[in-house]
Structure 1
């Protein structure tokens, strides 16, 4: 009994923090603070924001100054939103011009963009909280501006919005392969749901890159220009996002479908062959 009492009241040792990780966090915070001395962001808030995005970016590769500014805006520190607009407003204006948005509409689009990114609404928090520091903040903002400009042009050009996509249905005549025809009719609903869930499970940057590539049909060079990165990096991002999506879809299908692995592989092969159509429809359904 005495031994049990001793064990019951023995203190529980807390997990000790990793000194190297703590030192890196301190260095990143110091870099951000030095870049934006007028924004008095608490270290605890900065670190909590880092932890929220853990896994989205290697800390050593973090764009610390941009991340600090975005975090300050997310925390609604006075002056942070104005600092972002002052530094990047010209870039966003250039995007709207390059996408042939008429001058009469640029002010409205710019205001709507800043509201979506920096202010938010009761039912939609400001998107600046999603910035993970993996690439330059300017590139992240340009992606949002490109998306808004493309949406504006499409809506202005035509009211023909594609309805909820037939995600696994091709635009070419039905395949004579009876196996593919069976898979289309038998597992369409499961594949659609698996694609949706796998897409939702991607990092925000991965989703944005895939949206630009599959829905907006931007080339690797254009995506690189939007983000301000090398084309090889942009190509890796597209490939990594595509493969992550397919791996997630496969894992979900394997859990949901009680069929042989070979049949899951056949279904995934169909998804791969029609991924461009599937992703375009999927992103349109999310708009």
Structure 2
């Protein structure tokens, strides 16, 4: 086993007293932390840096050890997939069990989940490459397991194999507001496209949280449990994602519609009041990941 304590000089240097560590030095430190946590997984530093630069908007908040392991899996480093499954397999099994997936189906579902995460298929690369390191890897994997369990239950319900009465409410949302219906009759295509584009522009983590909240109708407490965070953190994530979506939607509508700012504000206010209905429709229309 290599000495896990060796760090490059750049990893411990700072530019000037009181200034931020340079990106290069920060990346070196993160790489060293990841390598120390997983010394048997040989990820080249250049590959780690390239992977981090594709994903990490805030390097200082990167979960280095988790990101290093995910990077190793993405690069198909020998032993990485086995290490990931050994570390998190029990968590994912517990998620499937907690979502009432029958024991007879759990093995197949778990295998399908690992294939989706680690192998992928033509046109759909392995999902582990999407992990950006902004939260714990365990929480990110639990979200993937929850999504697969919900997909299974929805399909089973459609096939009349497994009853899921608690989903009935989601199938019968409240009727749209008449004023919103009028405005959307004038600008329906532009509003829907702006929402769709704004949603696509969010980060993967933000989209996943909003999907759990709006489409799967998980409470803040349930989302917090999925990610393994305090409920206040989960509530902040939902609020931040929601507001980011609305801000970008407003910006897109202002650029695209040749109407007064007041009218854009009115449309956005009505969209905000019906956001749950709109988001459910967008996520359903986009299909399951």
Question: Equivalent of 1:172, from 170, 175, 185?
Answer: 175
Contact 2:120 2:126 in 1 (8 A): yes
1:43-54 alignment to 2 at 5 Å?
Answer: 43-54=45-56
| Structure 1 residue 202 displacement after superposition | 0.3
Equivalence for 2:274: 274
- Looking at structure 2, the residues matched to 61 and 210 of structure 1 have their Cα atoms a distance apart, in angstroms, of 21
Contact 2:119 2:126 in 1 (8 A): yes
The question of 1:87 aligning with 2:87 is answered yes
Give secondary structure in 2 for the equivalent of 1:194.
helix
| Structure 1 residue 171 displacement after superposition | 3.6
* Structure 1 consecutive aligned stretches of length 4 or more whose deviation exceeds 3 Å: none
- Looking at structure 2, the residues matched to 110 and 254 of structure 1 have their Cα atoms a distance apart, in angstroms, of 45
- Looking at structure 2, the residues matched to 111 and 90 of structure 1 have their Cα atoms a distance apart, in angstroms, of 13
TM-score by length of 2: 0.85
Q: Any unmatched runs of 5+ in structure 1?
A: 1-17, 161-169
The question of 1:135 aligning with 2:150 is answered no
- Looking at structure 2, the residues matched to 82 and 122 of structure 1 have their Cα atoms a distance apart, in angstroms, of 23
Q: What are the superposed Cα offsets for residues 132-160 of structure 1, whole Å, 9 maximum, x if unpaired?
A: 11111010000010011011112212359
- Looking at structure 2, the residues matched to 73 and 19 of structure 1 have their Cα atoms a distance apart, in angstroms, of 28
Equivalence for 2:198: 198
Q: Any unmatched runs of 5+ in structure 2?
A: 1-19, 161-172
- Looking at structure 2, the residues matched to 19 and 59 of structure 1 have their Cα atoms a distance apart, in angstroms, of 11
| Structure 1 residue 117 displacement after superposition | 1.0
| Structure 1 residue 54 displacement after superposition | 3.2
Count of aligned pairs? 257
TM-score by length of 1: 0.86
Rate the CA distance shift 1:173–1:150 in 2: closer, same or farther, 3 A: closer
Higher relative contact order (CA 8 A, sep 6+): 1
Equivalence for 1:226: 226
Q: What is the root-mean-square deviation in Å for CA atoms of aligned residues?
A: 1.8
- Looking at structure 1, the residues matched to 237 and 176 of structure 2 have their Cα atoms a distance apart, in angstroms, of 33
